[in-house]
Amino acid sequence: MPKSEGAMDNGSFGRVVRVEDTVRRPMYPWSPTVHRLLLHLETVGFTQAPRFLGVDEEGREVLSFIDGESGGAGWRQVASIDGLRAMISLLEDYQQAVRGFHLHGPTAWSAGVVDLDGSQVICHGDFGPWNVVWRDGQAVGLLDWDHARPGDALDDVGYAAQYLVPLRSDEDCVSLFGYDEPPDRRTRLRVLSDGFTTTPDAVLRRAVEMQLGTIALVESLADRGLEPQATWVREGLLDDLAGRLAWAQTNGDSFV
């Protein structure tokens, strides 16, 4: 959940530091749920997620470090069709790996406590270029699981579509996203939808729904006093998000 595409923020709620071959991150009420998810992914052989290694003496979660380029570097990687397909493959691999992960009863997530019955799919929740680790043009890691949550398998696809189509102006695509020229959004949307055996229209509808969900989540986290969302809201992020949503609603149909 980046503050803005230009900032290339990694979406983390607090200070994240690397210590040798580990990454230390703050703990939150939903962290134990995320740790269970990461342990499951390790068990089933999903190598693209960091490993949960425990909690250090300062109360921070300890994760394995995945070497490669991430953050701002991810935007140029996905500007090509090959990069887009690499993102699709990564999400397909995750969705396959998470199928056997089931929780029951009230469970804490960043979006709140959800009463699970074991049938829900667990989404990554922040599947964007800034959270992917790249090596030699390959998507080798998926970071920042703080926003994992129960949902529909198409939720991560719709969320990613905002940044992979992308649903932004030509100016933003060139100045912020690493495109040499305005992208062929129609083709990119078709490649994305074909990758998940759905339709461009369905992906666009879900993308708008996910934008609305992001606005609601940012408001909720800010209202709870959590950072960086509280600061982002004070700095006008909700207006930015509303503008992006309006652009997608106005222009999205032209890409179908």
Which position has the higher pLDDT, 45 or 176?
A: 45
Query: Which residue in the block uniquely carries the two structure tokens 């222009």?
Result: 251
Q: Could you give the CA distance from residue 192 to residue 77 in angstroms, rounded to a whole number? A: 16
Q: For residue 188, what are its two tokens? A: 């990119």
Predicted pLDDT of residue 40: 98
Q: Could you give the CA distance from residue 46 to residue 124 in angstroms, rounded to a whole number? A: 13
Amino acid at 110: S
Cα pseudo-dihedral 251, 166, 196, 51, rounded to 10: -150
Q: Could you give the CA distance from residue 27 to residue 50 in angstroms, rounded to a whole number? A: 15
Rg (CA), the chain: 17
Q: For residue 231, what are its two tokens? A: 């600061």
pLDDT tens figures, 118-159: 888 999 999 999 999 999 999 999 999 999 999 999 999 999
Contact 81, 47 (CB under 8 A): no
Q: Could you give the CA distance from residue 202 to residue 256 in angstroms, rounded to a whole number? A: 10
pLDDT tens figures, 232-253: 999 999 999 999 999 999 999 9
Predicted pLDDT of residue 5: 41
* pLDDT tier, 24 (very low <50, low <70, confident <90, very high otherwise): very high
Is 78's pLDDT higher than 90?
yes
Contact 176, 6 (CB under 8 A): yes
Predicted pLDDT of residue 15: 83
191 C-beta neighbours (distance < 10 Å), count: 17
